[in-house]
Structure 1
């Protein structure tokens, strides 16, 4: 019997977001919880991802984007999350997930249904985070492809600077426990309303 792989069913990953962002703000944020992603952990996880021809950051708390639009997050020495930032790689992630389940010392992480994911964009985005986070996430202090595992609006979160996009605006991914998604969404709306 084959296992059901939730990475192939993005419609099953949803938040209960009811609010909308303030239209007067220069900062935009979107609920990206349905965007395909998956994770792996274990002594052979890094070697497995390299064999899958994915870029693997050298150190924890770093991220890299491959040519197809998959961003690889290295959260620790042996924990990795893959995010389909281009939103065009669901099939590829499904295939990687399938092969990963057959690997020795590679363990699947189900981050796609444990975490909500938001994308924040705007020239004042890094400054906005100062209202909800104690870590300096402005561009001068928080480099592109850097990861902060911190507290945002009193909720544990993973923040990734993805600002290499040619749009010119700051761009961040924020991943946090799914049960706190409405609280975090409301906190972003309140903080962003001042910009």
Structure 2
């Protein structure tokens, strides 16, 4: 029997758009591994869109948050609006002086980040949990044309010379509030985009429309290095 999103209690808000995709298990949910029979690594290098919404993500805010995360082995960005990839493939986005967003890694199906949320308990210190799994969808726009795609939808200059790897922008794209982080996947350029979960279906379509000029397509995680 083939695996289907309906077999899982946790589903991406975009799961109905992945009906023809090949799916694989990731933790307690599923993720698209491929969307077609083309060489998706070639597409990913040019212009591709991936749905990572079933990977764990969580936020923390408070003057004690940095110390708490460092105690768990995370290396933190030095200033707000910066992102830092971790050795295990996860990432830390610093959204303000005292707010952080953790993005899970495909290497462990997001287990480390999921554990941070499960283990959190309020102990009186100013370190507050900000659940993000059900509030934000998570997309990855990969390839050399990513900034050109976003230029059609967003007023912020996301070209590499203005928005180098490790940069974070909190802005609007296609009239949707988004968080954009420039986090390449090895040699593959990648813009990680988090948007309101309720707007994900619309925003996915807006991105695909903007990608047509560059022959962009959805791909699965098998396209990543």
Aligned-pair Cα RMSD in Å: 2.3
8 Å contact kept, 1:63–1:74: yes
1:151 and 1:29 map into 2 onto residues whose CA distance is 18
Give the structure 2 partner of residue 178 of structure 1.
197
Deviations 1:73-120 (A, max 9, x none): 100111111111334153322432244324421110011110001011
TM-score computed with the length of structure 1 as normaliser: 0.85
Instruction: Write the distance in 1 (CA, Å) between the matches of 2:198 and 2:141.
Output: 19
Residue 191 (structure 1) aligns with: 210
**What SS is found at the alignment partner of 2:91?**
strand
1:72 aligns with 2:72: no
The answer to whether structure 1 residue 119 and structure 2 residue 119 are counterparts is no
5+ residue gaps, structure 1, are 1-9
| Distance (Å, rounded) in 2 between the aligned partners of 1:94 and 1:125 | 29
Q: Distance in 1 between matches of 2:118 and 2:53?
A: 21
Please state whether the residue corresponding to 2:108 is helix, strand or coil: coil
CA, structure 1 residues 117+11, in 2 after alignment: closer, same or farther (shift >3 Å)?
Answer: farther
**For residues 145 and 131 of structure 2, what CA distance do their matches in structure 1 show?**
32
Q: Look up the SS of the partner of 2:79 in the other structure.
A: coil
Q: Distance in 2 between matches of 1:68 and 1:59?
A: 21
1:91 is aligned to 111
What residue in structure 1 maps to residue 218 of structure 2? none
Which of the two has greater helix per residue? 2
Report if aligned partners of 1:38, 1:82 keep a CA contact under 8 Å in 2. yes
- Is 2:56 aligned against 1:36? yes
Which shifted more, 76-85 or 14-23?
Answer: 14-23
Runs (4+) off by over 6 Å: 20-25
Distance across 1 between alignment mates of 2:153 and 2:15: 19
1:178 to partner: Cα distance: 0.3
Q: For the structure 1 residues 15 and 133, does the alpha-carbon distance in structure 2 shift closer, same or farther, using more than 3 Å as the test? A: same
Counterpart CA distance in 2 for 1:119 and 1:64 is: 16
Tell me the number of residue pairs that the alignment of Structure 1 and Structure 2 aligns: 184
Checking the alignment, whether the CA contact within 8 Å between 1:13 and 1:112 is kept in structure 2 is: no
The aligned counterpart of 2:29 is: none
Structure 2, unpaired ranges of 5+: 1-7, 19-34, 215-225
Q: Is 98-107 or 179-188 further displaced after alignment?
A: 98-107
